[in-house]
Structure formats: C-alpha cells, structure tokens
Amino acid sequence: MNGIAKLKSRIIHLLFSCFFIAPVAIAQNGAVDQAGTHGRKSIRAVRTESAVTLDGNLDEPAWQEAPIALGFNQKDPQEGQPSTERTEFRILYTATTLYVGVICYDTEPGSILATDRRRDSKLENDDNITLVIDTFHDHRNAFMFRTNPLGTQYDALITDEGNNLNENWDEKWDVIAQKHEGGWTAEYAIPFKSLRVPEESGGAWGVDIERVIKRKNEQTYWTNYRRGFKLESMSQSGHVQGIENIETGMRFRVKPYLLGGVLQKVRKDSVTANQFNSDVKFKDASDWGMEVMKYRITPSLTADFTWNTDFAQTEVDDQQVNLDRFPLFFEEKREFFLEGAGIYEFGLARAEGTTDMKIFHTRSIGLSEGRARIPVPITAGARMTGNIAGFTLGAMNVQTDTVDTSSIAESNYSVLRVKRNVLARSFIGGFFLNREKGGSGDYNRVYGIDGNFIFKKYLTISALFGKSSELKNTEQDWISNGTIRWEDDFWVASGDMVMIEPNFRDDMGFIPRKNMRRLSPTVGIKPRPGGGFIRQIRIAPRLDYITDRDWNLETRSIHFSNRMEFQSGDALLLSPHLRYENLKRDFEIRVKEGIIARPGVYSWWNMRMQYTANPARRISGSLVVEPEPGYYGGDLMTYEVNPRFRFNQNLAFETDYEIHKFTFGPKETTDHVVNFRTFYNISNQWLTTTTLQYNNVDSFAGLNFRLNYIFRPGDDFFLVYNEGRQVGGPRDGERDRSLQLKLTYSFDY
C-alpha cells in the first residue's frame, strides 16, 4: 500500500471513529438533558414618565410598580438547583432610556468580593452581574453589560451566540452599584440611542441575567442555566415584553479629537560608534482629526466615518517570542476596527494554540507587514454595519498614506460582508475583499461563501470556500474549511479540515502557512464526578495531521489534553504531546547563537503541566512547566510564571514571565520575556496602567504609561508615555520616546 493509500485509510478510520461511534454514544447517553430554556420566563417592562435617579437605590415609586423577576437557578456547581442567594430584577423605561434594577441578596455581605475598577475588565475576580439584551430577538446577537459591587463597567457585542465576542465595543451607558446590609444592588441606565433596535415597536426582546457569587464559585441565571450553553447563547434566553413607542434618539454623532505631544528618536551614527543623534518632533496644530462620525441611517443600520485617524491611546502588544516556524498572531486592539467587528469574523480556523488562517484580519490595515509593525497613517475610512431587508451587512473602505522612510506605498482596502439568517440558529453568507496598492497597479482580491448550521442544540456544521485573484494569473489559489462538531456538557466530538493552496494570496488576512491540508479529529468526554473537590474533568485527545497539497506528511501532532477543574475554582492541566516535523528548509531557531534546525525528519514529545489558581484570590495566577526533549534535534525547557496580586480595589499587579532554555549539543541559550503591568485606579473615571517589558531575544526593553480620564461616558482624555530601548547588541542604547496627550469630545444630534 503506497503512502497516499495509507493516508486515505487512516482518514476514513478517523472519520468513522469521530462521526459515527461518538454520536451513537452521545445518543445513548441518557444523562444529558437537552431541554432548552428559551422563552420559559418572561417579564414586562413598565413605562414611566417620572424621573429615575441613578443612585443604586430602587426606592422611586416607579420601581415599586414594576414586576419582580425571580427564580435564578445554578449552572455551577449544581445544575438546575435554586441559587444559594436570592436575586431579583425589574425593568423600567422612558421614551429614551432603559432602566434595569438588580438586587443581589447575600447572607454574608461582608464576604462580597469587589476589587476591580478597570473599565472593560472582565471582572472575573469579583462578584458580578451580567445583563444581555437581544433587541432584534433573532436569538443570535445581543448587547452585554456587566458590573460589580463597585459599579465598574464592562460591555461587549455578542455575534452568532458568542462565536465572536467583541469586548472592545464601547457605548454610552451608566450603572451605579452599592453594597448594603442585605447584599448589593446595581441600577443600569442604557439609552436606546446606544442600542440598535428594530423599526417596529412593541415586539418581544430577548433578555437574561447572570449572577456570579465568586467566593462560592457559583454561577446562576434567570433562564439559561443548562450546561452546554454559554451566557451568549441567546437562543436560550427569556423574554421582555412591553417596550414600545421609544425614541432611538441620536441620528448623528461627531467625535473629533485633539492630539499633542513630542516624539524623540535616538540613534547611533553607526553600529561601531559611541555617538548618538537625537531627532525630536513636536505635534503641531494640524494634529487633529475625526475619531468617528456616526450617522444612523435607520434604527438598525449605521454608517461610520473617520479621518486622519490616530491610535495614540491603544495598548501596547505583549512581548512574544516565536517557538515555531510560522509567524505569530497579534490581536487587534484599535478602537475603530473593533467596533462592530463581529460581522467581519469569518474564515477563522485554529489548531491547538495557533491560528491557521483568518481571512480578514484588520491588523493588516494601518500597520506594516513583518515583525516591526510600523504604523501607517490612515487618511480616511468609512464603514456601514447593521441589518437591512433581512440581511446582516458589513461594508468597510480604508485609505492609507505613504511612509517615505520605509518605502510603504499608499493603499486602499475594501471589504464587503453579507449574511442571511436561516433556520433557527444558522446563517449563510458571502464576502469580498480588495486591496489596491497605489502607484503599482498591484491588487489582491479574495471572495467566497460560507455557512454555519446548528442542529439539535449541540451539533454545528460549518463550511467555507474562498478564492484569490491578482494581477498575474495563477492557479492553485483557493482555500476551504469544513467543521462538524458536537459538544454538550459530557461529550465532545469534532472533525476539522482546512485546505490552503500554495498560491492563495490574502493581503488583508493572516495566512501563516500555505500549501497545506490539515485534518483534525477530536473525541473526548467531560465527566463530573459529583461531590468532593473535583467539579469537572475534560479528557479530549486530538490529532493534527498536516500534509502538502500532494498529501505528503509534513506535520503530525497528537495531543492528549487532560484538564481538571476543582470546586475551589483552581484548575490543573496535564497535556502530553507527540510531535513529528518533516523540515524542507532550514529553521533558524535562534540566529544569534547559531542554533539552526537543518532539513530532515524530527520526532519528539513534550508535556505541558499547568496549574491555575482561582482569580478571586488576592494572589492568583498560573504556573507552567513544559519539557520538550528532542525539540528539533535538541532540548527545550519552558517555564511560565504568571502571578496576579490584588492589593486593594485601587491597586493590582500582573506579571507574565516566560523562560525558554535551549540546549543543542554544545550550544545553549535562554530566552527571558517579561510583561509586567501595574493598575492603579483612583476611581471608576481615573484609570492608569503602567507596563514594563523585556525581551532578550530582540534586545528590547520598554515602558508604557497610560492615564485615562473618562470625563463623561464615551469621551476621554489620555496621557500616554512610551519608551522602547535596545539593550545589548550593536544598537545598544538606541531608543524611541513619545509623550502624547489626546482629547475626544462627542456631539450628538
């Protein structure tokens, strides 16, 4: 039997195991309760014409007239059992604002955890409540609003039941929370102008509330308490009735910015010289622009414009070192690209711990290619997102300028995304991407179709096909991905196939590895022993089998993931791996030390051991030890130390420290990568972050200080200091410094 025949036989065997044996076992498993919770509970919102004072006290007469919603049930630790602490909420509204009042009773009010004041923190260290609202009642998309007993704000956009959670979405809303003798209370005020709402009036909306009691590691829900579903699973939410004749308010928003500051570059005359030259540039009166100009075409369709866009306030990327042959993936952090980003999330495929492809990745716009990621000026941009005639629409066009010092030409980027909801929880869609490089005639276009179908609550089938085109005619320029997955609270069974042709080109995406076929089956179980100190165990073996387009094996990785979650909130991971790599060219592991893996076949194993402490503790974090004997013919030992220390509700420290020790015969080297952050928050409006970074692989040390004053919802003052310095090597002492001040102020009409 030849190699291709053997591979096909193995594929058939794996597919049979994954898609026939496991689903049969799933069907026979009587322990899984597949009953849903959608629409089982409903609450009526009460309209009030009297003023509601936002103070965390539900003592106005209007609150007394509103119906009370009760009956919260646990998802963890005891599914379906009543919450150990009583929770109730009520809903009021005026013509312009939605009010939600939540009372969290607690028999031990002195044990309520409230430590975090950071805007948009996930609040995973604290007691918290989360409100989700599905205004279009499409059971897919929603707005998320979370707070803790300090009234800290976190908001996000939910797309496709949490397939994308845009945590960087920010809108104008307010919440006041306060503790009292019987527990704590939160009072939300959400302007309708901050939401997208249907044009028709009086229909039901989807709504749910989650309460987390952190000291008990308990999660309770008004409706969606079934395991196997997330809070973002809006198909399991309850209903709110009676919201009608409201004013969506703002039709037009203008949000300009002013920017000032100074930038300094210090460079050596040559690598052998001891003399430095300093180039100082001051920001002048022309450093202003339009952060965003927003026009609401209809209540459900919005157009945004930006001009001379600046990202001075954006958080710095964490320092990383690459232990693989393919480029690192960096998340998008810039506000303009993050708002409404969920609709543009398509063509994303991940293997274990890596991103195989992301067809549209906004990091390709406004940042140069390569490791340096030089900022590229954005001249202007426009986008339109929302719902129209039953379709979900996303369209974006961005024009970038030249960078003379780096020979980067101006470019125009366009993307069009259209989706149509079908069945109860599924969609089909299409996409088109286009990049035109100015002055060269060069262009790149990518277009295709995709779909995502959900059946029987836990079965997901998705597929995508795309093709690229460019100035020169090419073949073998397509891409495809197909996934079938079943996951409930006990079983997980999936198969994923990714195919990327050698000539597929995507200037607006992240495609680290071309000429690839990857098959990834997984079959696992997630038992709950019941009682004792173990909450759940996840055992999920996975195979990543990667070939070229001619089915020649290049990479094989067998993962045996074993994760144990304790009732305390701690977790332990033991994950052995078996690796096979067939190198076709040199892999420069560490160039300065001359550590290079030559072409050939390599096989080795590694064991990842990780302990993670419950983040509710004052001192928490994680510890990782991972030996890899035989790593590309040598040995690699990895240590990761990630302590988190909360001093009080104003001050916290976080450290990510990685050590990678390589041994290749007589050659040895050690990587040290440090990301240390200090958070000092004077109040919920005055927030500071200080970041210290060190990376000896790139001979880099950095400091970033960021002061954010939120002087009113949606408007900010930033003071940002950055310094990056070369430490060691021929460029030792070279540095970049900047001190920038930025003010935004919005006008709503």
- 9: number of Cβ within 10 Å: 11
Q: Are residues 543 and 517 in the same domain?
A: no
| Residue 139 lies inside a defined structural domain of this protein | yes
- Give mean pLDDT, residues 666-672: 93
Region 90-105 average pLDDT: 94
Whether 168 and 287 share a structural domain? no
For 483-551, give the DSSP string.
EEEEE-SSEEEEEEEEEE-TT---TTSB----SEEEEEEEEEE-----STTEEEEEEEEEEEEEE-TT-
Whether 251 maps to a domain, the answer reads: no
> What pLDDT does 656 receive?
95
Q: What is the pLDDT of residue 286?
A: 58
Strands, E, within 154-204: which ranges?
A: 154-159, 164-166, 174-180, 183-191
Residue 5 pLDDT more than 50? no
Q: Do 168 and 217 fall into the same domain?
A: yes
Instruction: Give yes or no: residues 598 and 616 share one domain.
Output: yes
Say if 366 falls within a structural domain.
yes
Which of these ranges, 113-117, 270-274, 402-406, 556-560, has the smallest mean pLDDT?
Answer: 402-406
Residue whose C-alpha is closest to residue 90's, from 120, 124, 51, 48: 48
Q: Kindly indicate the confidence band of residue 319, based on its pLDDT and cuts at 50, 70 and 90.
A: confident
Give the mean pLDDT of 149-175: 86
Looking at the fold, whether 121 and 217 belong to one and the same domain comes out as yes
Residue 373 scores a pLDDT above 70: no
C-alpha pair distances (Å), 57 with each of 63, 247, 423: 10, 26, 43
Q: Which residue has tokens 């051991």?
A: 609
Q: What is the mean pLDDT of residues 432-442?
A: 87
Query: Cα 404 vs. chain centroid, distance in angstroms?
Result: 34
Q: Mean pLDDT across the stretch 492-512?
A: 92
In this prediction, residues 82-109 reach a mean pLDDT of: 95
Structure tokens at 494: 């999936």
Task: Kindly state whether residue 463 falls inside one of the protein's structural domains.
Answer: yes
Candidates 685, 743, 713; CA nearest to 250 is: 713
- Is residue 13 over pLDDT 80? no
Give the distance from CA 296 to its chain's centroid.
26
Residue 122 has pLDDT above 80, yes or no: yes
**Mean pLDDT score, 625-637:** 95
**Shared domain check, 715 and 662:** no
Task: Grade residue 439 by pLDDT with cuts at 50, 70 and 90.
Answer: confident
What are the b/e assignments for 315-331, b being 16+ CB within 10 Å? ebeebbeebebeeeeee
Mean local confidence (pLDDT), 151-168: 85
For the chain, give the mean pLDDT. Answer: 86
DSSP 407: T
What pLDDT does 482 receive? Answer: 94
CA distances from 739 to 144, 267, 289, 705 (A): 34, 18, 18, 9
List, for residues 331-357, the tens digit of each pLDDT value: 777 777 776 677 888 888 877 767 888
> H-helix or E-strand containing 336?
helix 335-338
The mean per-residue pLDDT over the stretch 235-259 comes to: 86
Q: Does the pLDDT of residue 30 top 60, yes or no?
A: no
Average pLDDT over residues 634-642: 95
CA dihedral 525, 611, 75, 491 (to 10 degrees): -10
Tell me if 703 sits within 8 A of 674, measured CB to CB. no
CATH number of the domain that residue 137 is part of: 2.60.40.1190
Q: Which residue bears the tokens 């998340």?
A: 331
At residue 20, the 3 state secondary structure works out as: helix
Confidence class for position 312, pLDDT limits 50, 70, 90: low
Task: Work out the average pLDDT over 301-321.
Answer: 80
| pLDDT(279) > 60 | yes
Which of 493, 524, 555 is a domain's end point? 524
Q: Which residues of 624-642 are buried (b: 16+ CB within 10 A; e: fewer)?
A: bebbbeebbbbbbbbebeb
Q: How far apart are CA 312 and CA 394, in angstroms?
A: 26
Going by C-alpha positions, the residue among 725, 748, 742, 747 that lies closest to residue 276 is 725
Mean pLDDT across 10-32: 37
Joined tokens for residue 624:
């990782």
Verify that 386 and 515 share a domain, yes or no.
yes
Examine residue 5 and state whether it is found in any structural domain, yes or no. Answer: no
Task: Report the alpha-carbon distance of residue 719 to residue 740 in Å, rounded.
Answer: 6
Q: What is the mean pLDDT of residues 533-555?
A: 94
Overall number of domains in the chain: 4
Same domain, yes or no: 517 and 592? no
Report helix, strand or coil for 405.
helix
Q: Which residues contact 59 (CB under 8 A, 6 or more apart)?
A: none
Indicate whether 29 belongs to any domain.
no
Please identify, among 524, 545, 578, the residue that sits at the C-terminal boundary of a domain: 524
Domain shared by 601 and 713, yes or no: no
Please, are residues 394 and 400 in contact by the beta-carbon 8 Å criterion? no
Residue 729 lies in a domain: yes
Q: Are residues 464 and 568 in the same domain?
A: no
Task: Please say which residue of 499, 524, 549 terminates a domain.
Answer: 524
Rounded average pLDDT over 396-410: 80
Judge whether 681 and 707 are in contact, CB under 8 Å.
Answer: no
What share of the chain in percent tops pLDDT 70? Answer: 92
Pairing of strands 667-681, 651-664: antiparallel
702 and 683 in a common domain:
no
What domain range is 351 assigned to? 320-524
21-53 exposure pattern, b = at least 16 Cβ within 10 A, e = fewer: ebbeebeeeeebeeebbbeebebebbebeeebe
Model confidence at 9, pLDDT cuts 50, 70, 90, reads very low
Query: Measuring CA to CA, which residue among 534, 553, 529, 528 is closest to residue 543?
Result: 553
Check whether residue 517 and residue 530 sit in a common domain. Answer: no
Q: How confident is the model at residue 12 (pLDDT cuts 50, 70, 90)?
A: very low
Identify whether 441 is part of a domain. Answer: yes
Q: What pLDDT digit, counting tens, does each position of 171-210 carry?
A: 889 999 999 999 999 999 999 888 888 767 778 999 999 9
Banded pLDDT at 418 (limits 50, 70, 90): very high
DSSP 328: P
Q: Is the pLDDT of residue 69 over 90?
A: yes
Percent of the chain with pLDDT over 90: 51
pLDDT band at residue 372, thresholds of 50, 70 and 90? low
